[in-house]
Amino acid sequence: MTSFAWALPASRIFSPLTSGLSQLVADVFPVGGWRIYTISGSMPVFDRKSWRLEIAGLVRKPLSLSYDDLLSLPRAEQISTFHCVTGWTVKDVHWAGVRFKHLLALSEPLPEARAIRFVSLEQPYTDSLTLQQATQGDVMLAYEMDAKPLTRPHGSPARVVIPEMYGYKGVKWLTRMELVASEPTGYWENLGYDQNAWVGRSNGYG
């Protein structure tokens, strides 16, 4: 925690009515090392009743999972370090969520499926991972951070976590996964960042 954290709880900083100001405050007083990022300047609102995670595209069984469906899947936990490509790092983040192999098993990808396109409720943020990357041991769809349900600034109710890649691969406010034959470029890749965002080995640092 930073010394400012006690004075500026996230719930007050990130009032829905002040997201522009919130971004400013978050940049000046980062909480616990995090910078809160949005591309649109606003944060989607998670509604527990209406939120769905769609799994679509090259699958035998297209799915629409509710939040409760997601929580009922086998739970995985991990502690991993988070790296943003701009240089900040948060050590030892405790994540809980679901491994992609379990989500994929439910939807039964077709043989030609090679990658997953992740779509945020925050448009037009998308990114993708190959199936091979998404099913690595420390990759998950996280719904808890540091033993609490994911907060709105951090992407409630679920975000992609892949510790060995830079943070831009970790789509927040996830609402849709599309199985595709080849990996589409995402929001930051379209602006020149590497598709394979390995920490220390991409975006010119390799």
One of 8, 29, 35, 56 touching ligand MTE (CB under 6 A): 35
Q: Which of 175, 88, 191 minimizes the C-alpha distance to 123?
A: 175
CA–CA separation, 101 vs 121, rounded Å? 23
CA–CA separation, 157 vs 34, rounded Å? 18
Extract the tokens encoding 185: 């470029």
Q: Tell me which residues in 69-108 interact with ligand MTE (CB under 6 A).
A: 84
One of 67, 168, 173, 193 touching Mo ion (CB under 5 A): 168
One of 5, 24, 39, 110 touching ligand MTE (CB under 6 A): 39
Among ligand MTE, Mo ion, none, the one that 100 touches (CB under a kind-dependent 5 to 8 A) is none
167 binds Mo ion (CB under 5 A): yes
143 binds ligand MTE (CB under 6 A): no
Extract the tokens encoding 13: 């900083």
CA–CA separation, 166 vs 29, rounded Å? 22
Closest contact distance (angstroms) between CB of 193 and ligand MTE is 9
3-state SS class at 189: helix
Q: Tell me which residues in 136-165 interact with Mo ion (CB under 5 A).
A: none
CA–CA separation, 140 vs 158, rounded Å? 10
Among ligand MTE, Mo ion, none, the one that 143 touches (CB under a kind-dependent 5 to 8 A) is none
Q: Tell me which residues in 92-111 interact with Mo ion (CB under 5 A).
A: none
